[in-house]
Amino acid sequence: MGRTSRKKRSTLANRAIIASAALILGGGGLAAVNVYASAGEGPPGSSHRSGQPVRQASTIDCPEVVDEIPEVPDPARAEVDRELAAMDTQITDAYREFADSRDRMARDPQLAQNAVLGPLKARRTASIDRIATAIGRSAERPQGLGSLAPCSLRADDGTDGPTDRPTDEPTGPPTDRPTDDPTAPPTDESTDGASGGNGPEDSDFVDIRSVRPNADRPVRLRGASRGTFTTECGRNRNGKFNPDNVIAAPGVANGAHHMHDYVGNQATDAFSGDEDLAAGDTTCRNQGDRSTYYWPVLRLRNGTAENDAEADGGGRDQNVGEIRTPSQVTLRFVGSPTGKVTAMPRFLRIITGDAKAFTNGDANANASWSCTGFEDRQLKDKYPICPEDSQVVRSFAFQSCWDGQNTDSANHRTHVAFARDDGRCPRGFRAIPQLVQRIVYDVPPGPGFAVDSFPEQLHKPVTDHGDFINVFDAGLMRKVVSCVNESRRCR
């Protein structure tokens, strides 16, 4: 398990932060709570020189500590995971304080420092120290993590979200934001009802008909594994939900601060170990697949209160509205465009996408949004407005390369990787069957829905993500590999 590489922000994400953050907490204090594009501009609600209004601060932006810690020894892993989950809760609590007093903080910059950013920095400093101490009991104590404690306030200035993947980041679904098609109908961004408390905004939606076809797939080379294996696990009609995340926050209730849909293994919650999952019931038709598949629920922001309106992961974490059951869920395992695949190990854990991509940047973002009938047009940082008789589609193409040793890693990412642009795995990784999820929803046309998110992520579409724990039995996994490698279509 290697050292985690530093996560990079995209150019667009940096530009948005630089343009909007007159409000960064550095070593000293808060520069200003009103966020302006340049010095000398008018008060909140006024327009700057280009005539465009400038937004006030709308959320809290904190450095992602998990991406900066070195390899975590096994004896320290549980304590480190608990502290990382505690830091998510600290941000959630601080965001609630900020949201409740946003207007007052706009008038009194020191209030944000005293009531939100200062106390948050103190709590984060204590958690970071406990993380360093836990690691230091079994390995060299990491240095310099304290610099990650300060957070800032930032604006959602309406610019495009993260869209570019770093040059050394292997390929997932296409990441360039599509260009408007002048022949398509205009985008309706004036519809009321998208915002619900802390987002999303109407500007987070785009008419799919205004998007040019942009889906692209790597060319399959000679010797590619062209088969597929489809596992049928239902669409959560039985309503298994919880706000846990057994991969990123094991042993922590409400570790996600948003509600998840589950299909497959029915024993999955924050406290499930491998033995629990192996013995759990499954909704999958083939009982040899007891894998866990989960993702944030999608809600209609229609004013209808769900039964979790007063619960963790629901209303308490500013996720509001009616949870929508998918109309269709497809789970397929596909091959490599450059060669054969090998079996993935039992209990392999994979997270795809980044639940904090709005503030983290796009290094790990992997959202794909579209509409039925228009799936050659994929959106990364916008929700689609689908025409009548078309349904919303979320798709996730998971990492398809494995390091050959670990079923998890300290940051829950570096043990797996995407293939490179040429379809080959990075050096030291081997190709495994790639999970491709397609989740379809029947929702009313217009900007009236959103996925659950951490509160400070403002329900942005770029934060969409999926999670998978492989609990195939050995015989069924052999069948998956043989079907994929022999170019057969199996179920």
Burial track 292-307 (b if 16+ CB lie within 10 A, e otherwise): bbbbbbbbbbeeeebe
Q: How buried is residue 352: exposed, middle or buried, by Cβ count under 10 Å (0-12/13-18/19+)?
A: buried
Bond from prior residue into 200 cis (ω within 30 degrees of 0): yes
Given this model, what pLDDT does residue 374 score?
A: 98
Q: What is the pLDDT of residue 197?
A: 58
Closest C-alpha among 172, 195, 176, 214 to residue 381:
176
Q: How many CB atoms lie within 10 A of CB 10?
A: 21
CA distance 307 to 309: 6
Predicted local distance difference test score (pLDDT) of residue 220: 77
Predicted TM-score (pTM) of this structure: 0.83
DSSP-derived 3-state class of residue 94: helix
Q: What is the pLDDT along the chain (491 residues), one digit of tens a residue?
A: 333 333 333 333 333 333 333 333 333 333 333 332 222 333 333 333 334 444 578 999 999 999 999 889 999 999 999 999 999 999 999 999 999 998 899 888 899 999 999 999 999 999 999 999 999 999 999 999 999 999 999 988 654 333 332 333 333 433 333 333 333 333 333 333 344 458 899 999 999 999 999 987 767 788 899 999 999 999 999 999 999 999 999 999 999 999 999 999 999 999 999 999 999 999 999 999 999 999 999 999 988 889 999 999 999 999 999 999 999 999 999 999 999 999 999 999 999 999 999 999 999 999 999 999 999 999 999 999 999 999 999 999 999 999 999 999 999 999 999 999 999 999 999 999 999 999 999 999 999 999 999 999 999 999 999 999 999 999 999 999 999 999 999 99
What are the domain boundaries of the chain? Answer: 11-154, 202-490
| Distance set, CA 450 to CA 127, 204, 323, 324, 368 (Å) | 31, 10, 10, 10, 14
For residue 33, the model assigns a pLDDT of 34
Question: What pLDDT, on a 0 to 100 scale, did the predictor assign at position 157?
Answer: 64
